[in-house]
Amino acid sequence: MAANVSPRMALMTAVAAMAAVVVASNILVQHPVMGQLFGLNLADILTWGAFTYPFAFLVTDVVNRTFGPHRARQVALVGFAVAIVLSALLSTPRIAFASGTAFLVAQFYDVAMFDRLRHMTWWRAPLLSSLSASVVDTALFFTIAFSAMIPFATDDFATATDHLFGIEGLPETARWVSWAIADCTVKLLVAGFALGPYRFLVSRVATGRA
């Protein structure tokens, strides 16, 4: 962001970025990663949405650091409203509902956790809040989106079973459980990677407010 970007423009950009990340993730979570890695069939354990969704926490944490928790919650709410409408049009209603529920709970948890840790070393608040919020988000999203425990779970994702991670000899489980574990692992890795962009964006927004 340039030094003359106003706080209002920065917040509008944050809302747009939040909506874009969530919509893209809702579409990409329906597409498994194809290929093999260490003998594992990636389609059995991972979707493309795992690589994009963690950046929603990056947006929230940057706003939280530069404008405070109140503005961060506002960005999460407005971004959620925009994203849920677009997701309902571009993905399935069930995915949109699961995403909306997990998004609100995880984002508000992230904001609260970040605010409690904001006075610690600069990297602790964004890293620890994003890591824990990612676990909450994954558990809620995959349970609602794919679990057969949910009343409207009638698709193949809810009923298909396989060995965990597709590995013979491991216990059989619903395919979405392997997806959830691998998805959460990727999210945790991306949360660590996002510390670099976080540091850069916070400094740029702070310069723009000066």
Measure the CA–CA gap between 126 and 65, rounded to whole angstroms.
Answer: 9
Q: Name residues whose C-beta falls within 8 Å of residue 153's C-beta, 6 or more positions apart in sequence.
A: 94, 146, 147, 159
* Beta strands at 40-41 and 36-37: parallel, antiparallel or unpaired: antiparallel
The tally of CA atoms less than 13 A away on the side-chain side of residue 10 is: 27
Structure token digits, residue 59: 């947006």
- Report the alpha-carbon distance of residue 65 to residue 61 in Å, rounded: 6
Kindly list the structural domains of the chain, giving each domain's residue range(s) and its CATH number in brackets, ordered by start.
7-209 (1.10.1760)
> Residue 167 and residue 151: Cα distance in Å, rounded?
29
Per-residue pLDDT of the chain (210 residues; tens, 9 = 90+): 444 557 788 888 898 898 888 888 878 877 888 877 776 777 767 788 888 988 999 999 999 999 999 999 999 888 778 777 777 777 777 777 888 888 889 999 999 999 999 999 999 999 999 999 999 999 998 888 887 666 555 555 556 677 677 677 777 777 778 888 888 999 999 999 999 999 998 888 766 655
- For residue 31, the number of C-alpha atoms closer than 13 Å in the C-beta half-sphere is 11
